[in-house]
Amino acid sequence: MSLDAMVKPEEESSCRTSSRSIVSSNEDLMVNILSRLPVKVLSRFKCVSKQWNMLTSDPYFISAHHGRATQEPNIMKLLSVTRAGLISVCSIEEKEERKVTHDLIRPNYPDGILQKYKSVYMVGVPCNGLICLECVYHEGWRAILVCNPATRDTIVIPRGKKREYDYLELGLGFCSSSNEFKVVRFYEMEEGYGFELFTVGQRGARGTHSLKPLQSWRHVGYLPYQICYQSGRMCHVNEKMHWIISPLSDSSSEYVLTLDLELEEFKVVSLPEDARLDFVVDLIDLGGQLCLVLAIRDGSNWLELWVLKDYPNSIWSKEYQIHVNISENPDLDSLKVIGIRRRRRLLLFIDNSTFCYYDPKNNSLEMIMEEYPGSLYVENLVIPF
């Protein structure tokens, strides 16, 4: 064997050792590399060393990882929940072949909790990687859970004090200034609605129990309005919760009610003055902005999408007008806008069966799937307790 042949393996081994040393000693480089990996892989990497476990639990890393996942241009994830409590995540690779994969996840529910329920439902849409679940007991009682589908961690939210009125709706929001998720619920009264908040906690963002929040529901106010249920459910955008409301004294006038999750204060926003408010279909998160979806019914149905540009001054801008021949007799009640993707294409589903892209430039539809698989979802490492 030649001298060169004997030396080469030693050189390669030395090079690999040097590379590992560079990576392990350079935390910024490790964050850059590891933040590009999916949560499933990172969960296994936590067992590699204490350094990697601490790194992937650090709030800066969690934020960096979630930021990259949010901006991932080639993979779209959609999530739905079965009545049995299983979570289905559909991943669509947005390339020429458009590969579709399905993962069925069973969260780490507390022991015996599923045996007590008749069914499990997802409340609202995913929020920063977490979802809110409502479980219905066989006897009719209900319980609330917050779950991270990627890590499978769950937390049961206490029912709180028994009140004279039934709770009508739940929603999950996020406050970045305190790294806290907050569950919002409200109940109807003769004089309007009462609202309560439950702070889920900071452990997932900080990896410690030292900042454990008050584990109880807190009353945040009464409002003399009525919720317009025909105009969709509560919507979380820009760390605020939103509803379409109308005054108790005038049900024909509608507004947007906003709950700031940081200040825990309410504000009423006027709807766009120039919009034809024939029928408010929904409030949605459209690329990080609050969007009002209106159905215009004048014989040739279409949808208008108005985006709120300025909260304090209630300034809206009409960004999209969807008028496409979906069928011979299009029914706008069965057409829903669920988000926006790169190149400003809108995500729609029609008749709860066809999932497609709408391209506003040429007013065309491109079918993605024949079955609508759920809500837009971006995974996160945060642990909900």
Residue 11 in any domain: the answer is no
In a domain, 188, yes or no: yes
Please indicate, yes or no, whether residues 50 and 110 belong to a single structural domain of this protein: no
Residues 23 and 147 placed together within one structural domain of the fold:
no
Indicate whether 233 and 190 sit together in one domain. Answer: yes
Is the domain of 133 the same as that of 253? yes
Instruction: State whether 158 and 287 are in the same domain.
Output: yes
Q: Total structural domains in the chain?
A: 2
Whether 37 and 130 map to the same domain: the answer is: no
Residue 181 domain flag: yes
Q: Are residues 93 and 202 in the same domain?
A: yes
Residue 9 lies in a domain: no
- Domain hosting residue 336, numbered range: 62-376
Which of 182, 161, 162, 178 minimizes the C-alpha distance to 170? 182
Same domain, 35 and 183: no
362/336 same-domain check: yes
Say if 5 falls within a structural domain. Answer: no
Contact by Cβ (8 Å): 154, 143: no
> For residue 95, what are the CA distances in angstroms to 77, 90, 98, 368?
14, 15, 5, 12
Half-sphere exposure of 253 (CA within 13 A, CB side): 10
Asked if residue 193 belongs to a domain, the reply is: yes
Q: Give yes or no: residues 163 and 21 share one domain.
A: no
Same domain for 88 and 192?
yes
Whether residue 347 lies inside any domain: the answer is yes
Tokens of 173: 């929001």
In a domain, 384, yes or no: no
Buried b / exposed e over 252-264, threshold 16 CB at 10 Å, is eebbbbbbbbeee
97 and 73 in a common domain: yes
| CATH number for the domain harbouring residue 72 | 2.120.10
pLDDT, tens digit only, all 385 positions of the chain: 443 444 444 444 444 444 445 445 577 777 778 878 888 788 777 777 777 778 777 878 888 888 887 777 778 888 999 988 999 998 888 776 778 888 899 999 887 777 777 788 898 889 999 999 988 876 667 788 999 999 898 988 887 766 666 677 888 999 988 888 999 988 887 777 888 999 986 443 333 333 344 468 888 888 888 877 665 678 999 899 999 888 777 666 788 999 999 999 999 999 888 777 667 778 999 988 999 988 776 666 688 899 999 988 999 999 988 876 655 445 566 678 888 876 667 888 776 677 888 888 888 888 888 776 788 899 888 876 6
